[in-house]
Structure 1
Amino acid sequence: MGPLIEITTVPIEIEMKTTNAHLVYSRGTAEVEISRDKGGLNIKSRPIKLNVDSFQAQSSIRPTTAQSVKQAAQAGKQAAYQATATYAKRGQLVMDAKLGQELITHFAQETQDAHLGRSLDEFGLGFLPEGGIDLDWEPGQMQIRYEMDKLNFDWKTGGQGFEFVPGDIEFSVTQRPEVIIKYVGGALYVPPSADPNYEPVDVRA
């Protein structure tokens, strides 16, 4: 009679993965920021500037207050000189007077002739300017300034170097160990006499 039980043993299966240590070269990163400065067109214009000085021309027709005071002072001084000369002349005539001369009529005639001989300028009146007008001018200017837009580039670069990767060992179980017990015999009957192939044992033999 053969064995009734078959035992099968399944061994464990282990997978091992190893990674060697190595260096990784890092190239780094690079970034750029671009900004724009806007330009523009600037035009500055100044027209011709004309300077007109008519002080001398106006003063010859209508003198200013300071000039009038100065002219009056000079005229008064001149009148005093003339009056002094006239009185001296008249005194000399009186001293040398002869009988029959009418000095009063002579003095009156001289006074009338003097008043009639005065010009309008002696009274401070004028109709045509005696001085000219000074003209001075500055040339015009035009300035044109144009600036183009400007681009600014700001580069930012990362560092470069090596990165060390350490070694590694990885174990993984692909098959767990087990024991398989298999019964390979026939059927068991209880009691044994229930077996159709049962043959009783002769105890007398």
Structure 2
Amino acid sequence: MEIPQIRMHSQPAKIQIQTEPAQLHMSQPSGDLTIRQPKAEISMRTKQGKLNIDQSQAWEDMNLLSAKKSIAKNAQAGEQAAAQGTARRARQGNALMRIENSADTIKAQAMENAFSEQKRLGITFIPSTFAVKTSYEPADLDIQVQTHQPVIEGRANKPIMQYTPGSIESSLAQRPELTIEVINKKI
């Protein structure tokens, strides 16, 4: 007698998966920075110093006068000398009118008129102390400075990103199979 037997052979399916990972490349460029410093503006104004020297008193002390002062001084001396001469002559005239009172009037007048007053000796051309007068106005310096703030310009650069997406590929590496055989076996 023959009994049928069923033989089954199966081959499982095999799936093949290939993956490509995602890639991300990032770079950050440096920022751009510019700094400019404008020059400061400086202005200076100077008022000159002033030195005044007045030596007119020293010249007068040495009898070196200007024409105007010399004329005024000599005119005053002339007026004074004329007044003194007039006074002396009037006094002597009055004395001569009363000659009967004194016998020595003519002799005294002759002695007075014969000799002039002697000049005093001495150094008279040296100026007196502090005859030269000085005054000084100091110089004035005005400095104006105007500063300027620095000009800073900064720009941040965005990061550069390159992204490659990943991929997955799946395929059937081995197909599934099922083989069924019917075998008759004798017993």
TM range (shorter): 0.3 to 0.5
Determine which structure has the larger strand proportion and give its number.
2
Q: TM-score by structure 2 length?
A: 0.45
* Largest Rg, 1 or 2: 1
Higher relative contact order (CA 8 A, sep 6+): 2
